[in-house]
Structure 1
């Protein structure tokens, strides 16, 4: 039987379709994503009035009640955009089509924009993706695990000056751990912390008390037994014993590692949480066609407020 990702059902939107639809159709798509309740008819973000004038020369609206002027991207994560709506939609399609992510450099070449533009745009999309985890509760069979990223110490040039890096953990002080909680056949959520124990406390607080939790034999997971029906697997003996396993969590880390090695090359530091959230979203939506993925990300971006972190990023 053919794998879903290899079938035509997984390909419902392409760059060719985006550029053939034109600027007017792309603009209409963003209007329908911003105001789905009114089928794309503008609603004033200030007073909520549904009666507006169209300022067609500038693609803006004017509220009848409060006379506030606004555009379809006003107050969203795309506020103050300079790219055309066609390019924005194409950027989203390019972004979701990357199975292991896409680098800002490649996106800048595909869209013919500056690297800075592609870098900020990609991170805005990751921020919109991460909003899905807000207030999330994991239920059912939940697997938890952690993996460390960053803190690499380059070996000294001369052999006499080299140290055994296995003997001293986190020599640089920059190593962080990504901890994931993942429902079997469902959603996942991630957090970044200095230690797996602290990250595990955050994830366990978001798990329903009636859930069954699977974890490895690390001692900091012992506290799970007091809260949940907990099953443990000793990876030195087996990866799955028919009773417990964390293979779904390991699948997430496999994707994140390959994003780091093959696409982004460095995801540690202050951006690690953003890349982890992206990998979590990609794992959760891996069986969804790319057209639905693109519309989901675009809708999340239109619902998100102006980014406090990425608006005016290069201007500090």
Structure 2
């Protein structure tokens, strides 16, 4: 029997011990390389684009020769106004990517010896950077599509006679939302949050090529797909696969997201469900990538992302 990738040595190329041994200067140099890869880590002014600058060593800042603008390696990124050291920042990214089914902010706050608020906001900034990979994505080939409901827990009554069927829509709390995943086989995953499964059809029109083949289950919400795509269905009450038609890749995504909700975070607030759904999609797409490459990919995405308008000053409202 073949060994699972996560159990192999190939999956482990970066450890926390290695991060802390590299020191603050090496960690700072790594962030510079991620911020300015075109110049091999040499500073580029974000205001005028000049490549000549003075380095203010006492504050780790640069001063542009042309426009005299002062900036740092994290200026204009989601790490702007950071207080953590670069070593701790890199360690937080490694801790984040090492969780195959996510990692709670409470656990990270203990590992890094920071406030829960700090870990919570930092991880959401990383999820925002992850979401950049899904921008303007167009799926082609064989695309699996499915939906599952998350959130909106209704506590059962004490007495059995008073309990209601919580699967029925009129017995729910009204907070339950549907996560719809469109997953290209051997390609990208694209999640969306809608009220009901069938509401995702307009998103399919925008993000799935007309020559694609769509695999879906027998949910009535997917009947409209026949109008624009080669759509093939499988009846899950009878079988999981019918002559090659299945939604197994979509179910794999839901398995990861469900374990994130139940086993790691225990509760996901409705307005943050889209962020966690995007994180699960990113982890699925990079599940066969070693943790060192995952950390560098996420660091590069974070250094390319602009200042977060949602999470900057979150606790100060």
Relative to structure 2, which stretch is displaced further, 266-275 or 305-314? Answer: 266-275
Offset, 1:118: 0.4
Distance in 1 (CA, whole Å) between partners of 2:171 and 2:120 is 29
CA contact (8 A) 2:214 2:230 kept: yes
Q: What are the equivalent positions in structure 2 for 1:271-286 lying under 5 Å apart?
A: 271-286=272-287
In the alignment, the residues of structure 1 paired with residue 4 and residue 166 of structure 2 have an alpha-carbon distance, to the nearest angstrom, of 42
Alignment of 1:202-281 (within 5 A): 202-281=203-282
Q: Which residue of 2 aligns with 1:26?
A: 27
User: Which stretch shows the higher mean deviation, 101-110 or 262-271?
Assistant: 262-271
Query: How far did residue 296 of structure 1 move?
Result: 0.4
Deviating runs (4+, > 4 A) in structure 1? 158-161
| Structure 2 SS opposite 1:143 | strand
1:164-179 equivalences in 2 (<5 Å): 164-169=165-170, 171-179=172-180
RMSD, aligned α-carbons:
1.2
Structure 1 residue 300: Cα displacement: 0.4
Cα contact 1:149–1:268 (8 A) shared by 2 = no
Kept in 2, the 8 Å contact 1:60–1:71? The answer is yes
Distance 1:116 1:256 in 2: 23
Match of 1:94 in 2: 95
Q: Which digits, 9 at most, give the CA deviation of each residue in 1:177-230, with x for residues without a partner?
A: 000000111111111111111123213420111111100011111111111111
TM-score by structure 2 length?
A: 0.97
Distance in 2 between residues matched to 1:311 and 1:170, nearest whole Å: 38
Asked if the contact 1:149/1:176 (under 8 Å) is kept, the reply is yes
- In structure 2, C-alpha distance between the alignment counterparts of 1:301 and 1:24, rounded to whole Å: 19
Are the equivalent residues in 2 in contact too, given 1:231–1:243 (CA < 8 A)?
no
Note the C-alpha offset of 1:166: 3.6
Corresponding pairs, count: 316
**Displacement after TM superposition at 1:168 (Å):** 4.0
- Uncovered stretches (5+) of structure 2, i.e. residues with no partner: none
8 Å contact 1:151–1:170 — kept in the other structure? no
Unaligned runs of 5+ in 1: none
* C-alpha deviation, 1:265, in angstroms: 0.5
Match of 1:8 in 2: 9
Q: Secondary structure at the match of 1:101?
A: coil
3-state SS, counterpart of residue 182 of structure 1:
strand
Distance in 1 (CA, whole Å) between partners of 2:173 and 2:3 is 47
Q: Which residue of 2 aligns with 1:293?
A: 294
Task: Give, in angstroms, the shift of residue 170 of structure 1.
Answer: 5.6
Alignment of 1:306 with 2:307, yes or no, is yes
Per the alignment, in what secondary structure is the counterpart of residue 42 of structure 2?
Answer: coil
